[in-house]
Copies of this chain bind each other. A is one copy, B any other.
Amino acid sequence: MMAEEIIVYLQREGASRGRTTGPSSPSRQRALAGTCPDPSLDSSPEHREYRARGRPRMKTVIVVHGGAWAIPDMLAEASMAGVKNAAWAGDAVLKNGGSAIDAVEKAVRSLEDDPSFDAGHGAVLNIDGEVELDSIIMDGETLATGAVASVRNIANPVSLARAVMEKTDHVMLTDRGASMFAERIGIPIADDLVTELERKDWEQSSSFPVGVEKFFNTQWGHDTVGAVALDSLGNVACATSTGGIRNKMVGRVGDSPIIGSGGYADNRSGAVSCTGHGESILKVTLARLILFHMEQGKSATAAAEASLQYMGERVKGCGGAIVVSSTGDWAASFTTPCMAWASIKEDVLHCGLNPKEDFTERLK
Contact = CB atoms under 8 A, between A and B. Distances in A.
Interface of A: 19-22, 28-36, 38, 41, 127-128, 142-145, 149-150, 168-178, 180-181, 207-209, 212-213, 215-217, 248-254, 258-261, 264, 277-280, 282-285, 288, 292, 312, 314-318
A35 B285 contact: no
11 contacts: A19-B127, A20-B249, A28-B209, A33-B317, A34-B217, A144-B283, A150-B177, A169-B208, A169-B212, A175-B175, A176-B251
A347 to B, nearest CB: 34
In order of increasing CB-CB distance, the 9 nearest A-B pairs are A177-B251, A34-B216, A175-B175, A177-B250, A260-B285, A35-B316, A143-B283, A172-B253, A174-B174
B35 A312 contact: yes
Contacts of A318: 33-35
A282 B259 contact: yes
A284 B217 CA distance: 35
Contacts of A292: 292
Given A176-B175, A209-B21, A251-B181, A33 B316 contact: yes
Contact of A285 (B38, B264, B280): B264
A212 to B, nearest CB: 5
A252 B35 CA distance: 22
Contact of A251 (B145, B173, B216): B173
Contact of A249 (B41, B181, B259, B278): B181
Contacts of A207: 19, 21
A67 to B, nearest CB: 15
Given A34-B212, A34-B318, A285-B285, 13 more contacts: A19-B127, A32-B277, A33-B216, A34-B213, A35-B318, A149-B149, A150-B176, A170-B254, A173-B253, A176-B250, A258-B259, A259-B285, A260-B260
